[in-house]
């Protein structure tokens, strides 16, 4: 078993053998704690599942989920390739040791400068999102006299039924070409040969998907369009790309709430695996065609916890649950506000104690939205369950905080972002993101 978060009782997850008090004293809080072994395990699980369908299939980690250099290096060493969405992510990917031919460039708003860099270094593929972008790529490739491999991002018109803000596979969104635009796009590429080479098709249904059958529907759609393109334009496509979306079970277990209240939304408890995805896609791919995937959340989401400390305990109304004010607000866990995301919360030093007492949890920001309720819950009595007698100075842990957290931290209210450490496979604690200082708050300001 890899060192990390392990299930030890019916109601709690333990922080596997870690002295969290020592971590807080040495590195401060708030502090993200990552587990190298779990990252490697997740990466290889997805890769091995996809390879069950054929040896040529490839996994491109979506680094928007977490682009910390130590995380990227670990993922590269685990055998994955990389998907980037900006010049900044491309810079970090190259700095982390990925070769250009290992990198796919995705995204709806690639700039001219970013495209020049991507084409000049020879990335594996650029997923084109619009006619305007296609025109830019054609002009740049011709000007540089350098061939570029591309794929067309298409709208599969699939709604998975998951979190509304994370669905991207329908024409009410901002991503990709509608299938009715396919003929014009292919004609432009045909006329731009040999500088622009169409190598594949891309579709992304969304993140935290409900069912592996959404991928099956998307792949069927891409296969139909592939045949149409090849027949009409004499292209020979090499790959189909199904994007990311493999979910993480943030709920982990069924929680019991008194007073007849319901708990977190089922969207946070999706639990199909990469192996389930491989089963529903088996037999669909013709020989010689490569399948690409771009998972992010499923690689890093459950590989970390956020350690935070109770700053103040206060009572506002007689007879009501107390408020615990912690040192991590939505400046650290932005998705808790922007997507009303659920991160399971436990007492870090008493994880096996009964979590049966209700508390309101608030961050330190001067903002009424800086609270951590249970999304989707209708319970008016409390926000979170923790052991009784929680006090100032006690440590709490938000679980499954490896994805879209380091990437989204802010300096709001002059609060400093969190530091991060990694627990190596050998059990060593290594700093992977230093704690910032007040000087960092003004580093970009100009008087």
Please, which pLDDT band fits residue 269 given cuts at 50, 70 and 90? confident
Any domain includes 169: yes
Q: Is 204 domain-assigned?
A: yes
pTM over 0.85: yes
The pLDDT assigned to 72 comes to 98
Question: 68-86 pLDDT, tens per residue?
Answer: 999 999 999 999 999 999 9
Q: What is the pLDDT of residue 151?
A: 96
Strands 345-347 and 395-399: antiparallel
2 within domain boundaries: no
Using the predicted structure, report yes or no on whether residue 28 has a pLDDT greater than 80.
yes
What CATH number should be reported for the domain holding residue 314?
2.40.37.10
49 phi and psi angles, rounded to 5 deg: -65, -45
Of 280, 296, 312, which residue sits at a domain end? 296
- Based on the domain organization, do 287 and 328 belong to the same domain? no
Do 322 and 208 belong to one domain? no
Note whether 219 and 255 are same-domain residues.
yes
282 and 421 co-located in one domain: no
**361 located within any domain:** yes
Taking only the tens place, the pLDDT of each residue in 276-297 is: 999 999 999 998 999 999 999 9
Boundary residue ending a domain (244, 263, 296): 296
Residue 6: pLDDT above 70? no
Mean pLDDT, to the nearest integer, of 294-311? Answer: 96
pLDDT at 220 (0 to 100): 93
pLDDT at 172 over 90: no
Evaluate whether residue 22 is within a structural domain: no
- Strands 290-293 and 5-7, bridge-based pairing: unpaired
Q: Same domain, yes or no, for 269 and 311?
A: no
Q: Does any domain span residue 350?
A: yes
Q: Residue range 224-249: average pLDDT?
A: 92
Which of 182-196, 208-222, 243-257 is the least confident region? 243-257
Q: Domain of 225?
A: 52-296
Does residue 207 sit in the same domain as residue 246? Answer: yes
Q: Are 201 and 282 members of one domain?
A: yes
Domain with residue 190: its CATH number is 3.20.20.10
Are residues 215 and 93 part of one domain? Answer: yes
Asked if residue 218 is part of any domain, the answer here is yes
Residue at a domain's end among 276, 296, 316: 296
Looking at the structure, tell me whether residues 268 and 382 fall in a common domain. no
Q: Does the residue 3 lie in any domain?
A: no
Catalytic residue ranges:
366
Which pLDDT band holds residue 426 (cuts at 50, 70, 90)? very high
pLDDT band at 381 (very low <50, low <70, confident <90, very high): low
Question: In terms of domains, do 171 and 257 share one?
Answer: yes
278 and 311, same domain (yes or no):
no
User: What is the pLDDT, as a whole number, of residue 208?
Assistant: 84
Indicate if 289 and 316 belong to the same structural domain.
no
């Amino acid at each position: 078993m890899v060192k990390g978060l392990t299930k030890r009782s019916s109601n709690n997850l333990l922080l596997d053998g870690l002295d969290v008090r020592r971590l807080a004293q040495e590195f401060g809080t708030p502090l993200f704690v990552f587990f190298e072994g779990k990252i490697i395990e997740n990466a290889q699980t997805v890769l091995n599942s996809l390879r069950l369908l054929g040896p040529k299939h490839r996994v491109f980690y979506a680094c928007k989920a977490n682009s910390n250099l130590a995380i990227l290096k670990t993922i590269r060493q685990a055998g994955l390739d990389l998907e980037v969405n900006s010049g900044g992510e491309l810079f970090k990917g190259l700095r982390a040791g990925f070769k250009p031919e290992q990198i796919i460039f995705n995204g709806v708003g690639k700039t001219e400068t970013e495209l020049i860099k991507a084409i000049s270094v020879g990335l594996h593929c650029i997923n084109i999102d619009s006619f305007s972008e296609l025109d830019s790529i054609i002009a740049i490739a011709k000007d540089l006299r350098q061939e570029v491999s591309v794929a067309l991002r298409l709208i599969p018109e699939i709604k998975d039924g998951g979190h509304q803000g994370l669905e991207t596979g329908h024409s009410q969104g901002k991503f990709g070409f509608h299938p009715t635009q396919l003929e014009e796009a292919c004609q432009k590429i045909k006329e731009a040969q040999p500088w622009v080479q169409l190598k594949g098709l891309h579709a992304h249904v969304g993140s935290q998907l409900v069912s592996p059958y959404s991928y099956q529907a998307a792949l069927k759609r891409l296969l139909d369009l592939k045949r149409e393109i090849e027949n009409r334009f004499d292209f020979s496509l090499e790959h189909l790309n199904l994007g990311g979306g493999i979910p993480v079970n943030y709920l982990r277990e069924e929680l019991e709430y008194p007073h007849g209240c319901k708990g977190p939304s089922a969207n946070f408890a999706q639990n199909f695996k990469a192996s389930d995805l491989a089963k529903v896609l088996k037999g669909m791919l013709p020989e010689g065609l490569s399948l690409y995937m771009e998972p992010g959340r499923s690689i890093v989401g459950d590989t970390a916890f956020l350690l935070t400390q109770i700053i103040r305990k206060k009572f506002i109304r007689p007879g009501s649950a107390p408020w615990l004010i912690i040192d991590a607000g939505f400046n650290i866990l932005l998705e808790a506000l922007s997507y009303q995301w659920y991160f399971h919360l436990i007492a870090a030093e008493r994880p096996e104690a009964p979590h049966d007492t209700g508390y309101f949890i608030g961050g330190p920001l001067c903002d009424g939205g800086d609270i951590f309720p249970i999304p989707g819950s209708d319970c008016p009595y409390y926000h979170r369950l923790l052991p009784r007698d929680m006090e100032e100075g006690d440590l709490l842990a938000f679980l499954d905080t490896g994805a879209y957290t380091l990437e989204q931290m802010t300096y709001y209210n002059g609060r400093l972002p969190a530091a991060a450490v990694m627990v190596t496979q050998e059990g060593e604690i290594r700093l992977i993101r230093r704690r910032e200082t007040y000087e960092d708050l003004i580093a970009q300001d100009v008087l």
